[in-house]
């Protein structure tokens, strides 16, 4: 179906406005712990003028201990320096801009695969307003967000490669390198390249080799291949996130619909109709083969729930077209169905955007509250030296905007500020056949002190303990930021609560210089 120019323009304007509205939240500040780490790295680039976590060439892509993929921190720091805006404001603008970019990129990819206006707009709507995309493009900037937003553009360039080898080949190569420096999800591009190559290998083989098999069997072969790739991890225990198989299935049934939304109901129908569709275009055939290969990783929802969103959107688009064709609905009813699905989807997304409460570990919310933001600005203006906190979770909210080094149990941040040094570690190599090698790093630490071990050593002993006193002097810790919601002089990290003799000793002996009822700052000077 084709819309008029006026209808297309109207729908685009409405989708853009909708995407902007959905990205206004109850929080005026940054959201999400991964984003705080990127914020800290961007701060360090501005402060030092170099990436101090680059120890090895593998550090650039985050595949070396105490490092992180570099694209996102460079991107944010570059915008901040160009616009003279702080990183917190840049992250908000980034979400808005790339949320709209996701809309156009998915629309363009959909048109490349199947040129139907209903299909293109439904794919663009499903992708840009899915909870996965909204979560990662709303006042937050984790590395995965840039990856999943750029993925439709990468797929488009790859699909167009055979039309203009040099032009689209160059774009594909540039985007591959950019994605490589963005996140470890880049290794999921392997099935995409494999699927693309398989289809063209079959296409060119058929020109020179005559097959006697009936082409009507092809859909059944594809369906059988899909079943095999789904069963492979389930039967071999490969590529499964962890825990029992049934636990992983429960997580899948929760996570995939949660991050894609109401159009999830159309995915299976869309996939079946696409597999059995007659006279599939080459791009559609490539899409089917890629999806079949990607299903090998379907039991790893931790990563796949983000990577798979664009493919879910395309399948939901086919499911929606199939729904319309099956019921032979006239244009008036089509409008009502579209409006109903849109309202239901928007309601679902808005619930998780603003109404669903997210309480992180130790009672900390998922976003920086205004009091925490004010505390970080006060620290920025008044304090010097390195800081330590009794809560390594809450301090992630304060550290990014403070401009002061904190020990926060982030390997890359602690490397940058000298709390740890990977050069002093003894490293071993992961097996090249292991998932850990490809999804984390070829190397792992055998010996060497981590920042968490330093923090724990301090927290568990009195300020008058010789080892604690030595560590405080060595790392120039000048102030302690106390989360007063943690009772009984406890300290908290991602490993749990510990009884803190240190907090008890400084609470008696040291002076408080700042107290807002939530955060208390004690001087060690």
Phi first, then psi, for residue 299 (nearest 5°) are -85, 15
Determine which of 126-135, 164-173, 454-463, 486-495 has the lowest per-residue pLDDT on average: 486-495
> If phi over 0 gives left and psi between -120 and 50 gives alpha, with beta otherwise, what is residue 139?
left
Q: Tell me which of 52-66, 148-162, 422-436, 452-466 is least confident.
A: 422-436
Give yes or no for a contact between 1 and 115, defined as CB atoms under 8 angstroms apart.
Answer: no
Burial class (CB in 10 A: 0-12, 13-18, 19+), 369: middle
Query: What six digits make up the tokens of 344?
Result: 């239901």
Contacts of 202 (CB under 8 A, 6+ apart): none
- Selection from 423, 476, 455, 413 nearest residue 48 by Cα: 413
Residues in the chain: 525
* Confidence (pLDDT) at 209: 57
Asked if pLDDT for residue 28 goes beyond 80, the answer is no
Q: Nearest 5°: phi and psi at 443?
A: -120, 155
Q: What is the mean pLDDT of residues 213-228?
A: 81
| Calpha distance 461→475 (Å, rounded) | 16
> Sorting pLDDT into bands at 50, 70 and 90, what band is 309?
very high
What pLDDT score does 208 carry? 59
Give pTM, 2 decimals. 0.91
Check the CA dihedral 225-227-233-235 and report its sign: negative
pLDDT higher than threshold 90 for residue 366: no
Burial of 331 (0-12, 13-18, 19+ CB in 10 A): exposed
Averaged pLDDT of the chain: 89
3-state secondary structure 169-235: HHHHHHHHHHHHCCCHHHHHHHHHHHHHHHHHHHHHHHHHCCCCCCHHHHHHHHHHHHHHHHHHHHH
Residue 212 has pLDDT above 50, yes or no: no
Supply the Cα-derived Rg of the chain in whole angstroms.
26
Query: CA-CA distance, 493 to 502, in Å (whole number)?
Result: 15
- At 324-351, the pLDDT tens digits run 877 665 666 777 777 888 889 999 988 8
From CA 150, how far away is CA 189, in angstroms rounded? 12
Residue 483: other Cβ atoms inside 10 A: 23
Angle at 327 between CA 325 and CA 330, to 5 degrees: 80
Confidence band of 80 (pLDDT split at 50, 70, 90): very high
SS3 assignment for 71-109: HHHHHHHHHHHHHCCCHHHHHHHHHHHHHHHHHHHHHHH
Residue 53 predicted with pLDDT over 90: yes
Domain range summary for the chain, segments of one domain joined by +: 5-30+86-355, 369-409+450-523
At residue 355, does pLDDT exceed 80?
Answer: no
Question: At a CB cut-off of 8 Å and minimum separation 6, what does 3 contact?
Answer: 11, 117
**Residue 54 pLDDT class (50, 70, 90 cuts):** very high
Separation CA 473–CA 467 (nearest Å): 10
Q: Which two tokens stand for residue 186?
A: 């880049």
């Amino acid at each position: 179906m084709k819309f008029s120019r006026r209808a297309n323009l109207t729908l685009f304007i409405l989708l853009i406005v909708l995407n902007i509205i959905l990205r206004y939240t109850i929080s005026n500040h940054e959201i999400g712990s991964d984003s705080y780490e990127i914020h800290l790295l961007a701060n360090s680039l501005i402060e030092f003028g170099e990436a101090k976590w680059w120890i090895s060439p593998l550090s650039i892509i985050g595949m070396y201990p105490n490092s992180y993929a570099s694209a996102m921190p460079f991107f944010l720091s570059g915008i901040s320096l160009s616009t003279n805006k702080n990183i917190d404001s840049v992250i908000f603008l980034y979400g808005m801009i790339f949320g709209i970019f996701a809309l156009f990129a998915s629309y363009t990819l959909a048109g490349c695969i199947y040129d139907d206006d209903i299909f293109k707009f439904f794919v663009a709507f499903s992708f840009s307003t899915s909870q996965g995309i909204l979560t990662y493009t709303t006042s937050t900037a984790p590395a995965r967000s840039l990856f999943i937003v750029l993925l439709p553009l990468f797929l488009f360039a790859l699909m167009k490669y055979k039309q203009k080898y040099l032009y689209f080949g160059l774009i594909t190569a540039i985007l591959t390198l950019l994605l490589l420096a963005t996140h470890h999800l880049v290794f999921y591009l392997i099935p995409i390249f494999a699927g693309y190559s398989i289809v063209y290998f079959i296409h060119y083989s058929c020109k020179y080799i005559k097959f006697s098999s009936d082409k009507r069997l092809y859909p059944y072969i594809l369906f059988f291949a899909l079943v095999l790739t789904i069963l492979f991890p389930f039967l071999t225990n490969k590529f499964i996130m962890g825990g029992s198989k049934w636990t992983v299935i429960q997580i899948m049934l929760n996570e995939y619909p949660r991050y894609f939304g109401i159009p999830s109901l159309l995915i299976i129908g869309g996939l079946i109709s696409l597999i059995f569709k007659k006279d599939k275009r080459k791009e559609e055939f490539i899409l089917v083969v890629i999806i079949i290969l990607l299903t090998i990783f379907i039991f790893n929802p931790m990563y796949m729930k983000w990577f798979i969103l664009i493919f879910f959107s395309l399948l939901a688009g086919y499911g929606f077209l199939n729904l319309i064709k099956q019921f032979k609905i006239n244009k008036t009813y089509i409008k009502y169905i579209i409006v109903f699905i849109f309202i239901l989807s928007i309601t679902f997304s808005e619930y998780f955007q603003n109404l669903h409460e997210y309480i992180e570990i130790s009672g900390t919310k998922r976003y920086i509250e205004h009091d925490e933001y004010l505390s970080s600005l006060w620290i920025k203006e008044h304090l010097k030296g390195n800081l330590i906190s009794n809560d390594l979770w809450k301090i992630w909210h304060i550290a990014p905007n403070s401009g002061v080094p904190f020990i926060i149990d982030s390997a890359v941040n602690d490397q940058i500020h000298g709390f740890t040094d990977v050069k002093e570690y003894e490293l071993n190599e992961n097996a090249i056949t292991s998932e850990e090698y490809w999804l984390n790093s070829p190397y792992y630490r055998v010996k060497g002190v981590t920042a968490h071990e330093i923090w724990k050593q301090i927290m568990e002993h009195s300020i008058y303990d010789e080892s604690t006193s030595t560590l405080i002097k060595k790392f120039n810790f000048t102030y302690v930021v106390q989360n007063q919601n943690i009772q009984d002089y406890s300290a908290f990290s991602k490993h749990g609560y510990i009884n803190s003799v240190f907090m008890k000793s400084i609470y008696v002996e040291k002076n408080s210089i700042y107290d807002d009822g939530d955060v208390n700052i004690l001087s060690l000077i």
